[in-house]
Amino acid sequence: MEARVKFEDQRLDCCDCGKPFIFSAGERAFFWSKGLTQPRRCKECRERRRLTLVQARAGGEG
Ligand SMILES: [Zn+2]
């Protein structure tokens, strides 16, 4: 049995900043293997969002 899934770079538009970004073949393969859908945000916005979440958690009331 042979997995013959060919991934190519794909251009997507970020839903946050609206800029086009490349969803690379490697990332697609990773997302696909995890059963995830394609990202809606560019790397920058995802990173910013992640940092915001981390900061919110670190400084959160507890
Ligand atoms: Zn963005």
Report whether 37 contacts 27 (CB < 8 A).
no
- Delimit the domains of the chain by residue range: 10-58
Average pLDDT of span 21-44: 94
What tens digit of pLDDT does each residue of 48-61 get?
Answer: 999 999 988 888 66
- Whether the predicted model's global pTM rises above the 0.75 cut: no
d(CA 34, ligand 1 centre) in Å: 22
d(CA 3, ligand 1 centre) in Å: 32
DSSP string, 11-52: EEE-TTT--EEEE-HHHHHHHHHHTPPPPSS-HHHHHHHHHH
What tens digit of pLDDT does each residue of 1-11 get?
Answer: 666 778 899 99
Residue 62 has pLDDT above 90, yes or no: no
| Six-digit token string for 34 | 């995890």
What average pLDDT is seen over the chain?
89
d(CA 13, ligand 1 centre) in Å: 8
* Residues bordering ligand 1, an ion, CB closer than 5 Å: 14, 16-17, 42, 45
pLDDT at 26: 94
Angstrom distances, CA of residue 16 to CA of 6, 25, 29, 30 = 28, 22, 23, 22
